[in-house]
Amino acid sequence: MCIMRRLRDWIISGRYGKVFRSHLFCTPTVVSCDQELNHFILQNEEKLFQCSYPKPIHGILGKSSMIVVVGDAHKRLRNVALTLVNATKSRAGYLNDIERIALHILGSWKKRVVFCEEARKFTFSVIVKQVLGLSQDEPQTAKILEDFLTFMKGLISFPLYIPGTPYARAVQARARISLTVKAIVEERRKNGGDCNNKGDFLDVLLSITNLSEEEKVSFVLDSLLGGYETTSLLMSMVVYFLGQSPLALEQLMTEHKAIRANKKKDECLNSEDYKKMEFTQYGQNQTACKKFTPFGGGPRLCPGSELAKVETAFFLHHLVLNFRWRAEGEDPPMAYPYVEFPRGLPLQVEPIL
């Protein structure tokens, strides 16, 4: 097969090209930064390739995590994920919840914000609301966030299980999040499904009979993990690049002004408005290159991509209509190993009156 021959040539041809051999987590590894090869690998998962993570990651994510399971077990969990995504999307308050949280965060802005922190607050509040039905001011939300940050720090750390190491802390944080989630699940069961949340993610998850209790909790954790930093980083990247491109910002503002002009004052956004956010969605997708795979591909294509795009679009809508901003000094994104803005993207903001 041509691509396999090319893969061999790529690896042989040089150590520091787009594809090279290395040693990561004590394992011989091929690293690929080649879009075409990555696309090919993703499309051929479970055929020519199989997903696998270093053992210590299993210790943190848990053996039932959808991210680490393979084969039929993955297929079964993935079907559940797709059912849940559809159930969540058709819930009446789905879009309103996202918009309300965006307005709440933007409403608290004074003269200066550290954008990455604001974006994280936003995406965390959205995912906790969507998955567990909790709002930002509930004590359980703060507890989950604290444990979650510890969990994230240990996810890519040296796998040394000695009290006090980031790895050990992450494993313990995961156990605490599991307990909190189990308590929320129990409460929901006792109340026989809260009528305010009927048909939400948690109700649907609880009604699924072919998942064990452990798998259900793991599922909630995967959704929190998948839906938090990824989306806030997308938002930060968009805001960063808009700051570098006045023309794109102008075009984005024109799109959102036109949508607002057709609505009453303070009227909520709906799915028709979202469809009209074509330039906004184009910017997020970067579809110019078909092989670009920000949401993965093949049997592991991200099930949360639509939620991430709606969140970003709705936040941008209110951001560009209500604020002017200017980056406070240079702060380009760097990868170590997550892509981050070293100073968190500080912005001077000014309301548009």
Give the footprint of ligand HEM on this chain (CB under 6 A): 51, 66-67, 78, 81, 222-223, 226-227, 230-231, 234, 294-296, 300, 302-305, 307-308
DSSP string over 95-138: HHHHHHHHHHHHHT--SEEEHHHHHHHHHHHHHHHHHH---TTS
Nearest to 227 by CA among 340, 127, 136, 150: 127
Q: Which is nearer to ligand HEM, 67 or 171 (CB)?
A: 67
Q: Could you give the CA distance from residue 209 to residue 226 in angstroms, rounded to a whole number?
A: 24
Smallest gap from residue 300 Cβ to ligand HEM (A): 4
Q: Which is nearer to ligand HEM, 25 or 161 (CB)?
A: 25
Smallest gap from residue 68 Cβ to ligand HEM (A): 9
DSSP string over 195-247: TTTTTSHHHHHHH-SSS-HHHHHHHHHHHHHHHSHHHHHHHHHHHHHHHH-HH
Smallest gap from residue 81 Cβ to ligand HEM (A): 6
Q: What is the DSSP letter of 268?
A: P
Smallest gap from residue 75 Cβ to ligand HEM (A): 9
Q: What six digits make up the tokens of 1?
A: 């097969």
Q: What six digits make up the tokens of 74?
A: 């993955």
Give the residue closest to ligand HEM by C-beta. Answer: 304
Q: Helix 213-227 and helix 71-89: axis angle, to 10°?
A: 70
Name the β-bridge partners of 28. 23
Rg for the chain, CA atoms, rounded: 21
Q: Which is nearer to ligand HEM, 335 or 353 (CB)?
A: 335
Smallest gap from residue 350 Cβ to ligand HEM (A): 28
Q: What six digits make up the tokens of 75?
A: 């297929």
Q: Which is nearer to ligand HEM, 235 or 349 (CB)?
A: 235
Q: Could you give the CA distance from residue 242 to residue 15 in angstroms, rounded to a whole number?
A: 35
Q: Which is nearer to ligand HEM, 180 or 236 (CB)?
A: 236
Smallest gap from residue 69 Cβ to ligand HEM (A): 8
Tell me if 204 sits within 8 A of 187, measured CB to CB: no
Smallest gap from residue 153 Cβ to ligand HEM (A): 20
Residue with tokens 């970003």: 312
